[in-house]
Amino acid sequence: MIYPLFISPKFLIELKDNEKLMDKFSNFVNRFKEYWNDIFILIDDEDNSFTKKFKEIKQNFGHESYDFFIICDLLINSSKTKTIKLNKKFKDEDEIINFLKIEKKIKNLVTFPKYFEEDNITLKNTLHKVLLSSLSEEEALQRIISVTRFSKKIVLIDPNLADALTNFSHQKSREHKNDCTQIKSKINDKNNDLIFSLNKIIKSIYASNLFQKDIKIQIRTTLNHSKLNHFKFDIIDNYNKWKIFEDAKQKGFSKFLWPIKKKNTNFPKNYETLYDGNKYFSLINKDFDEDEESYNIRLKSSSILNVDSKIKLDKKKEAFSKIGELLKSNMEICTTNILKDLKPEVIINEHYKNIKKIDEAEQDIYFRHILAVDLRSSMELRKRLDIFDAKTKKLKKINSWYLNLEVGPDEKNSAFNIFSHSLYKPEEINFNR
């Protein structure tokens, strides 16, 4: 959970003259010091009016107390405290607090000295993984929008959207039979958890955002070339069947061997004829005085290997090269109408980063995140973005699924790594295998 923080100049002045209040606020800062920049966002108006007053107070009174000087510096220094400028002017602190709490319905706004009456923020509740099963729908969404509320550039990342939106995976081979022309969309499935969840999450993000006129939302996924091998190898196998058959025919052989090498439990066998589902192509020659019917009977009784027609093989190759386009189109269709005034941008990245140095670690994209890019903030969603059940319309209660506010350079680098991955490019099929 990220907390918006409003500190009034009046409270800051009161601190320097009230030792008890100074101790309370210093303890508050020290408790969260290590993660201050990760879990708090300081609020100011469009003219930086409050920050300017903090600077004046520091200049006039900072010399009176070392602790007071440190607090003023913390609030002023942008490298120590994230500060957001609202697109609005306010006549006083009461107006800005009412705007945030009442008009914008921000429930977790932190103000002083009121906070000391509640003292309800803990590192455990803020930083640790929070199980979805322990949260209500509202609590889960509040945690998500706490990250995105003040952001103008929001990115939703799920590297495995293709599984949720199509039947492309190898596990669905009974449906597509490793034929990439038979990849089917799931976007019209009324019980698609991902589409239902994206609708709910994106609508909540937009409705709660304070910069709706400027907000941009991206949805990023990845495609892993190895997850497409069942389509690729099917194309290669059919190509090689034709190649071996034609080589045998050119050389005047009476039989050809397939497969070239042992595959699983399939040992190489001798064949005489190819059948593409419509026509026979054979090494068996027609006798001079043999009629067509007799010849066809001989072909049908020969050793036959099924193969794709060359026309179908060309269609498969084209479909394979456009799997990325198909996925992107499906993503765009199911997200275009979520919001009336905003169309999310869809981007597909390579699953693995191109390694440029010998000692560079392999980098893939596995975890799911929601990023506030301009604020360098991120929330991890485990296991996937589809945290809502389309049938029940409720938050999934799965003990291993959680939300996690990411803090520190390692966690955040993992979340932002996708920007260093190239855009997805279809793999060229090498037929010399």
Q: Map out the domains of the chain as residue ranges.
A: 3-126, 130-229+319-420, 230-309
Q: 302 by DSSP, 3-state: which? A: coil
The pLDDT, as a whole number, for residue 360 is 65
What is the rounded distance in angstroms from the CA atom of residue 273 to the CA atom of residue 323?
A: 32
The pLDDT, as a whole number, for residue 264 is 60
Q: What token pair was written down for 430?
A: 């090498």
Q: Which of 121, 175, 129, 132 is nearest to 2 (CA)?
A: 121
The pLDDT, as a whole number, for residue 362 is 73
Amino acid at 295: Y
What is the rounded distance in angstroms from the CA atom of residue 185 to the CA atom of residue 189?
A: 9
Residues of the chain with pLDDT under 70: 262-265, 355-360, 432-433
The pLDDT, as a whole number, for residue 427 is 92
What is the rounded distance in angstroms from the CA atom of residue 324 to the CA atom of residue 194?
A: 18
What is the rounded distance in angstroms from the CA atom of residue 214 to the CA atom of residue 210?
A: 9
HSE-CB for 22 with a 13 A CA cutoff: 15
The pLDDT, as a whole number, for residue 341 is 86
Instruction: State the Cα angle at 146 between 142 and 148, rounded to 5°.
Output: 120
HSE-CB for 29 with a 13 A CA cutoff: 18
What is the rounded distance in angstroms from the CA atom of residue 244 to the CA atom of residue 267?
A: 16
What is the rounded distance in angstroms from the CA atom of residue 408 to the CA atom of residue 236?
A: 46
This prediction has a pTM of 0.92
The pLDDT, as a whole number, for residue 54 is 96
Q: Is the four-CA dihedral 72, 74, 75, 78 of positive or negative sign?
A: positive
The H-or-E segment that residue 52 falls in is helix 49-61
Domain 3-126, classified CATH 3.40.50, yes or no: yes
Asked if residue 70 lies in contact with residue 81, where contact means CB atoms within 8 angstroms, the answer is: no
Angle between helices 193-208 and 323-336 (to 10 degrees): 50
